Structure 1
Amino acid sequence: MCFKFYFLQVSTWAMTKGIDTQKVLGYCPKDMKADICVHLNRKVFNEHSCFRLASDGCLRSLAMYLESNHAAPGDLLYHTGESVDALWFVVSGSLEVIQDDEVVAILGKGDVFGDEFWKCAKTGQSAANVRALTYTDLHMIKKEKLMEVLNFYKAFANSFARNLVLTYNLTNRVSVEKINMFGFGSLDQ
């Protein structure tokens, strides 16, 4: 465990060069802080069409709420049954989605996972575990903060709902049918 922690620290150091972004941003005036946050989240904004029609003010609001996260190989981001209260954007690295001890998806750069809570008010439970396969960088926004921005920027909310496609919805169970070597039926019969 110490060995893994050491490599996570080395990976984090390589990404941040030892700079605590939140601490530095705490010293900045609000406008400068928003500009820096937009810059730090530019990869996410440029990569996903759901942000294409966002005004500068909307992007600044979203950027203030997006959090950067790093995961080391083997780290679990979600456990089965856990509340899915955030939307995750994979910036680099890869993750696996595991349901009933079966890998049902591999996520990588550009993928988005979580729940479609902006379409319905309730928060669902994860039907799978999500585990990092490699050192992974992610940007995440909590449900409450995203809903706050969507409620304020109504035109953007409509565009966001139409254009954001989840790569993997954690609240949906995947039906995995095992095929025998002849391609007929299920092995579980």
Structure 2
Amino acid sequence: MLNSVRDFLKLYQVPKGLSERVMDYIVSTWSMSRGIDTEKVLQICPKDMRADICVHLNRKVFKEHPAFRLASDGCLRALAMEFQTVHCAPGDLIYHAGESVDSLCFVVSGSLEVIQDDEVVAILGKGDVFGDVFWKEATLAQSCANVRALTYCDLHVIKRDALQKVLEFYTAFSHSFSRNLILTYNLRKRVSCQFRFLLYQEQSLCT
């Protein structure tokens, strides 16, 4: 596989800096997965077994966040089937300013920075959630900031349409989820200059 990636990068004359990032990502991802293609394994399994595996793979998110506590087994299974695990390398941009915010992201490990107008306005880590409260909004949001990985990160991500489909079906859970989901950083909203000044003062006191 590594040889194929190297040949691809060479064939298309991918710039050196980007090539190094690609190789670093491939190697780090392989070291974590041991070369196992999770999607292929899940596709082989029957639906019931696949749902059980997905619940297990997302157990940290479900146990850590109060928003999932009142979810029935059926609801958790439906949610788990829609989650994807995203592995990010240092420097990877998860969101660019101006992009549509179409996913809810749960940080399972690693740290990320949120950058607005070339200033770091937040640092996100394990247990944090970022994206948009799109179950409360009628329109698709544009991200007001960049989100960039500072370290190797694992994110558990669910798409807007997939989450809304589950919430529409499990209405009782929908109300509980809406009340209890704590969004650490809402990419729909800009951070005010006053808040950024207070953040700067706080950082200055800490150094």
Q: Give the TM bin, normalised by the shorter chain.
A: over 0.9
* Partner Cα separation in structure 2 for residue 23 and residue 121 of structure 1: 35
Aligned mate of 2:35, from 12, 18, 29? 18
CA distance in 2, matches of 1:95, 1:46: 22
Q: CA deviation at 1:120?
A: 1.8
Kindly report the root-mean-square deviation, in angstroms, between the aligned alpha carbons of the 2 structures: 1.2
Please give the alpha-carbon distance, in whole angstroms, between the structure 2 residues aligned to 1:131 and 1:19. 26
Cα separation, 2, equivalents of 1:51 and 1:14? 31
1:28 and 2:45 are equivalent in the alignment = yes
Percentage of pairs with the same residue: 69
For 2:108 and 2:32, how far apart are their aligned partners in 1?
Answer: 12
Given candidates 53, 57, 69, the residue that maps to 1:52 is: 69
Give TM-score, length-normalised by structure 2: 0.84
Offset of residue 121 of structure 1: 2.3
Shift of 1:128: 0.2
Paired amino acid for 2:51:
A
Measured after TM superposition, the shift of residue 4 of structure 1 is 2.2
Q: Distance in 1 between matches of 2:59 and 2:90?
A: 25
Q: Which runs of 5+ in 1 are unaligned?
A: 184-189
Does residue 68 in structure 1 map to residue 90 in structure 2? no
5 Å matches for 1:99-178? 99-177=116-194
Note the residue ranges of structure 2 that are not aligned, 5 or more in a row: 1-17, 202-207
Give the length in aligned residue pairs: 180
Which moves more between the two structures, 157-166 or 168-177? Answer: 168-177
1:151-176 CA distance string (max 9 Å, x none):
00000000000000100000100013
Q: Scaled by the length of structure 1, what TM-score is found?
A: 0.92
Cα distance in 1 for partners of 2:164, 2:51 equals 18
Output the CA distance in 2 between the equivalents of 1:63 and 1:160. Answer: 15
Distance 1:140 1:167 in 2: 15
Q: Could you give the per-residue CA deviations for residues 67-93 of structure 1, whole angstroms, max 9, x where no partner exists?
A: 000111111111111100110000000
* Aligned counterpart, 1:186: none
Q: Following the alignment from structure 2 to structure 1, what is the Cα–Cα distance between the partners of residues 138 and 73? A: 26
Distance in 2 (alpha carbons) for counterparts of 1:176 and 1:19:
46
